[in-house]
Amino acid sequence: MILLTRIHLLLIPFLLLGADSAWAEKRTWTMTNGRRALAELTFAEGSFIFLRFGPLERRFELNEFSQVDREYVRKWVGKERCAACNLPLTTRIKKTANKTYHLSCFHCLACGKSFKGGDRFILGQWGNLVHSQHQSQTFQCGSCRRFFPRRGASTKQQFSDGRVVCRVCLQDAVFDKETLSELHTELSAMMKDKGIASPEGKVEFKLVSKRELNNQAKRIHVGGNLKGLTVSRFRKESSKGETTVTFSHVIYVLFGMPKAELRSVISHELMHVWLNERGVEGPADVIEGFCNLGSDHVLRQDPSRLAVHLMENMKTDKSPVYGTGYRKMIARLKQIGWARMLNEMQARGKKF
């Protein structure tokens, strides 16, 4: 699935050739399979890079590119860049703490004024800068955590349940059941790759508001800043000495999440389904940490920039359950692999 997406994306730039001359560093990239595309390098880390084609930004493996391209990336990484716009720094720069900016980029996104000595400002995760006293004039995207000015935000970016999203995340946000079910099919296949069998019981998805999600969570005594929730039910029937157990699951997910985030949430919840059908119980950090392995597996293959950001957030999450639990389980997974990991979890299961 992901592979297909990647091929499609690489075809798109040919239509855009010459359409946008504003990019400072667009160049032709050549893949080892002979494909070529015009794009701008926006991010590089370890074995992967991000290329931007017009409005699209996608991840690729560096070793899929020619020697010349790899050399370009090596030099690109070595250049000092503006913390706000990511372009190389020229002569007029502004240094603050350990970050450096173009003079023209060193301004508050709320009031537009350049920072002066003594100004207090906040640096967002995406390089956005805002005066501390102007933070109330900004929104923070509920999905990618980017700051953006309140003024100019469209009503579409402000959901009825109080959540707000940035324009980038809104572009990719899911509000319909068809896309949800496509993602479900795609993710089930990805999880099967790791030995996570499809559920025996029926899985129903519901796209809901934050309010409704919280209400459902309250009914089963769950709290926290939730984006998804799984409610599993089982029915036991005995006839002629034989007992059969049937399951049914409802997965609630928030409407309006961008695809990468929704993928991460759905795969986390599908891990709960797998655990629930096996009667697995355990400490919250083990259960949630395990379910985050599903998100990890899926995000690793998601080609969007947001996926890297979400992975980063999981790695640094301070929550003892979701963060520490995830780090504990990923370390264990690296040691023993998926097959043994699934066996270990299954061994915690009880009979119904």
Q: How many CB atoms lie within 10 A of CB 329?
A: 22
Nearest to 102 by CA among 111, 112, 92: 92
Question: Where on the chain is the footprint of Zn ion (CB under 5 A)?
Answer: 82, 84-85, 102, 105, 108, 110-111, 131, 134, 141, 143-144, 146, 166, 169, 288, 291
For residue 267, the one-letter residue type is S
Listing DSSP states for 295-340 in one string gives HHHHHHH--BHHHHHHHHHHHH---TTTHHHHHHHHHHHHHHHHHH
* Alpha carbon separation from 7 to 18, 37, 76, 115, 293 (Å, rounded): 21, 11, 25, 43, 27
Smallest distance from the beta carbon of 286 to Zn ion, in angstroms?
Answer: 11
Smallest distance from the beta carbon of 146 to Zn ion, in angstroms?
Answer: 5
* Alpha carbon separation from 232 to 207, 276, 286, 310 (Å, rounded): 17, 7, 19, 27
Residue 154 burial (10 A CB sphere; 0-12, 13-18, 19+): exposed
Q: Helix, strand, or coil here: 184? A: helix
In terms of CB distance, is 3 or 24 closer to Zn ion?
Answer: 24
Smallest distance from the beta carbon of 58 to Zn ion, in angstroms?
Answer: 17
In terms of CB distance, is 38 or 270 closer to Zn ion?
Answer: 270
Smallest distance from the beta carbon of 165 to Zn ion, in angstroms?
Answer: 5
Q: Contact, 123 vs 131, CB < 8 A?
A: no
Residue 272's H or E segment, with its range, is helix 259-277
In terms of CB distance, is 44 or 85 closer to Zn ion?
Answer: 85
Smallest distance from the beta carbon of 117 to Zn ion, in angstroms?
Answer: 15
In terms of CB distance, is 108 or 273 closer to Zn ion?
Answer: 108
In terms of CB distance, is 60 or 274 closer to Zn ion?
Answer: 274
What residues pair up with 336 in beta bridges, in sequence order?
Answer: none
* 242-254 and 202-208 strand pairing: parallel
In terms of CB distance, is 37 or 232 closer to Zn ion?
Answer: 232
In terms of CB distance, is 46 or 55 closer to Zn ion?
Answer: 55
Burial 4-29 (b: 16+ CB within 10 A, else e): eebeebbeebeebeeeeeeeeebeeb
Smallest distance from the beta carbon of 220 to Zn ion, in angstroms?
Answer: 12
Smallest distance from the beta carbon of 198 to Zn ion, in angstroms?
Answer: 19
Smallest distance from the beta carbon of 325 to Zn ion, in angstroms?
Answer: 10
In terms of CB distance, is 16 or 25 closer to Zn ion?
Answer: 25
Residue 52's H or E segment, with its range, is strand 48-53
In terms of CB distance, is 190 or 266 closer to Zn ion?
Answer: 266
Alpha-carbon distance 215 to 253, whole Å?
Answer: 13
Q: How far is CA 15 from the centre of its chain?
A: 28
Token pair, residue 266, equals 């759905």
Smallest distance from the beta carbon of 351 to Zn ion, in angstroms?
Answer: 23
Smallest distance from the beta carbon of 93 to Zn ion, in angstroms?
Answer: 9
In terms of CB distance, is 169 or 174 closer to Zn ion?
Answer: 169
